[in-house]
Structure 1
Amino acid sequence: MFDKMSTFPKVTVILRGYTYEQCRCVVQQLVGTKLSAVEVAMNTPGAADTIARLVEEFGDEVRVGAGTVTTPERAHAAAEAGSKFMLSPICFTPEIFQIARETGTVTVPAAFSPTEIHSMFEQGADIVKVFPAARLGAKYLTDVQAPLDWMPLMVVGGVNAQNVQEFFDAGASYAGIGSGIFNKDDIRAMNSDALAAQVKAFEQNVRW
């Protein structure tokens, strides 16, 4: 199993609004690739059950986590399902941080401003998600880290195969990407061959 922060994957695949079977089909294509983390959004029906089943089957090969963790209730459900990390589109509350600490879960709250980013790290965030990253642009990462020094930042929102390397070059350590990797129709149709090809194409666009 994975240690809390050891070799946290550079890219996390975001899955929102898909069934367990569709999520499982995607995760199958991630095994053995450099895309070795997947986030199931907690505003997806049955998300906790999907996470638990994915952890049980793929937990030694793919890091499975929860996204859209916006409340303590969602944090508890994600932790009980075995999530290895929790992401959110907003800042975490102290209660969510406490739940994550008690369960050894990696915390990835979101932030927009330098003050929010700094505050989340001060409160114990392992990684801070800069969201929505594409609206801010890659240079924002450089500008923020110049006075605040290097920080483990994840870019999410409008990041895709065409621009992800630009964000990494500007100082991002991680990226969370959904439709920027996969065609949604292929996920819904569980088109394994097409999904595998999309993983391979994305891998070739990143300097790992």
Structure 2
Amino acid sequence: MKIEDYPRFTIIMRGYTFQQADAILKAMKGLEKEFAVEMTLNTTDALNQIKRLTEKYGDVIHIGAGTVRSTNDVKEAIDAGAEFLLGPHVFTQEMLDLAKQQEVLAVPAAMTPSEINEMFHSGADIVKVFPASVLSPRFFKDVQAPLGKLPLMGVGGISIDNAKDFLTNGASYLGLGSGMFNKSDLENLDSDGLAESMQKLLSSVEGVGV
């Protein structure tokens, strides 16, 4: 996968059933260029879910793996069809090299300027700033003042209410988890309701450039 094809928003699917994940991807019809989805590896049957979702939607939706923590996780996620890999912490050089060899985007996490710099120097495609809400939107602006414009993704506490603040302060990408959808829409597999939440997010950041 090429970084220029990576959507601005990533929906983080943690603890979802296959039916719930399927309802989310159905709801993305027409919004495939706006959203990617990642299934966290600490979700029950995650690798099989990634494989099934990729077989069903992989031609039109970018599907990746989250909570990637080891070289073995990288290998298994790629084998399942993941196009990108998000982690909760920095990646080892071996993890980054393996992702690059397989042309899969590597998105390790960092929380300090030094970690961010280290990950890009080691070959990360995007760095996930986590937990973003603890650091605040201003962190993205302040850290890029000395380091220059960087492809940073805010994850952790991102919602429809604060997404615009993070983007206007220099975040290039955002990952949204439990705050993205109404709980009832997920429980009822309501794709129309899920699609409405996606549209609300897009409306909330309308006019904000990257």
TM bucket normalised to smaller: over 0.9
Q: CA deviation at 1:71?
A: 1.2
Which digits, 9 at most, give the CA deviation of each residue in 1:55-105, with x for residues without a partner?
A: 111112110000000111211111001111000110001121122122110
Q: CA deviation at 1:23?
A: 0.5
| Structure 2 counterparts to residues 26-41 of structure 1, below 5 A | 26-33=24-31, 34-41=33-40
Q: Which runs of 5+ in 2 are unaligned?
A: none
| Structure 2 counterparts to residues 1-208 of structure 1, below 5 A | 3-33=1-31, 34-207=33-206
TM-score of the superposed pair, with normalisation by structure 1: 0.95
**Mapped partners of 1:111, 1:63: distance in 2:** 23
Q: Secondary structure at the match of 2:26?
A: helix
**Mapped partners of 1:110, 1:82: distance in 2:** 21
TM-score of the superposed pair, with normalisation by structure 2: 0.94
- Is the contact made by 1:67 and 1:86 (CA closer than 8 Å) also made in structure 2? yes
Tell me the amino acid that sits aligned with residue 78 of structure 2: A
- Is the contact made by 1:32 and 1:61 (CA closer than 8 Å) also made in structure 2? no
Across the aligned residues of Structure 1 and Structure 2, the Cα RMSD in angstroms comes to 1.2
**Mapped partners of 2:75, 2:184: distance in 1:** 32
- Is the contact made by 2:185 and 2:193 (CA closer than 8 Å) also made in structure 1? yes
Q: Which runs of 5+ in 1 are unaligned?
A: none
Q: Equivalent pairs: percent with the same residue?
A: 43
**Mapped partners of 2:198, 2:139: distance in 1:** 27
Figure out how many residues of one structure are paired with residues of the other and give that number: 206
Q: Where do 4+ consecutive residues of structure 1 move more than 2 Å?
A: none
